[in-house]
Amino acid sequence: MGTLNDKYIRFDWAIKRLLRQKANFDVLEGFLTVFLNEKVEILEILESEGNQKAEDDKFNRVDIKAKNSKGEIIIVEVQNTSELYYLERILYGVAKAITEHINLGDTYKEVKKVYSISILYFDLGKGADYLYVGQNKFIGVHTHDQLMVSSKEKGTIVKKSPSEIFPEYILVRVNEFNKVAVTPLEEWVAYLKNGIIKDDTTAPGLQEARKKLLYYSMTDAERYAYDEHINAVMIQNDVLGNARDEGMRLGLEQGIEQGIEQGKAQGVNEERQRLAKMMLGMGESVDKIAIYTGLSKEEIEKLG
């Protein structure tokens, strides 16, 4: 079991302050290797919006953009609170990354694949899994096979699947993870959710994280700034949670009141119809029944 000194820094803070440093690339490389299911070597950290120390990013989004040894771009983003049109925004971010990293005059051959990994601490929508992957695939409408694209490179014909070219999106729904961590992927998600790293972990990146992301290895000033960040995130989530609960409560109260009024109206109407039927059975005229019950002539005739 861990001790008090085994408290680890949250991943969003690590992305903001620590994982941009070359000495800590091994933590990020391990994370990417596990989530992309292939060995990843980071060449450099690129400029991204998350590098900017905007006042409100302590509440919400932090990101890191890296280039791997293949020249591909990898965007890792942590989103703490819900954001409208989130999928549209990550699509825009990927498109921007593609266009930013091809020079004017380059051929389209120079377009590099982009990976977008989103670590989500909010409910994006319905789904039973904690990990979702999306890719562009061209499937035959009648044959159901995948299209392979041929291109001529260095005098030879090279075949590629669209998945080698088009962006890949990975959504990690942290709050949906409720398993005992066994695999390296599960261990990473458990750390993302709870800040827990097993003493005997062999997961790529987490061994290094146990040494480099220790809370008590920070200076007093760094710990203070980190604690302020965590408090800000928790307060923000409480505010949003309370607003959501209050909205649900008001909606429920309004629904109950509306239901009572509708029930009353329905009850009165049923009583009027019962009286009208009884008067019809007694041979009373439609005009007289309308005066007594308040029902229209058309409504009374339908009861006959």
pLDDT of residue 141: 94
pLDDT single digits (tens) 2-33 = 444 568 888 888 888 888 889 999 999 999 99
Contact present, 83 and 60 (Cβ < 8 Å): yes
What DSSP letter does each residue of 181-249 carry, written as one string?
Answer: --SHHHHHHHHHHH----TT--STTHHHHHHHSBGGGS-HHHHHHHHHHHHHHHHHHHHHHHHHHHHHH
Please, what is the Cα angle at 285 between 290 and 272, to 5 degrees?
Answer: 35
pLDDT of residue 256: 57
Global pTM value? 0.70
Between CA 53 and CA 229 the distance in angstroms is 12
The set of long-range contacts for 280-287, using a CB threshold of 8 Å and a minimum separation of 24, is: 280/304
Contact present, 82 and 69 (Cβ < 8 Å): no
Residue given tokens 């058309």 in the structure block: 298
pLDDT of residue 235: 65
% the chain with pLDDT above 90: 30
Half-sphere exposure of 181 (CA within 13 A, CB side): 23
Strand 114-120 relative to strand 73-79, pairing: parallel
pLDDT of residue 1: 44
Instruction: For residue 54, give both structure tokens.
Output: 């905007």
Beta bridge partners of 78: 62, 119
pLDDT of residue 177: 93
Which DSSP category does 155 fall into?
A: T
Instruction: Tell me which residues of the chain have a pLDDT lower than 50.
Output: 1-4, 51, 53-59
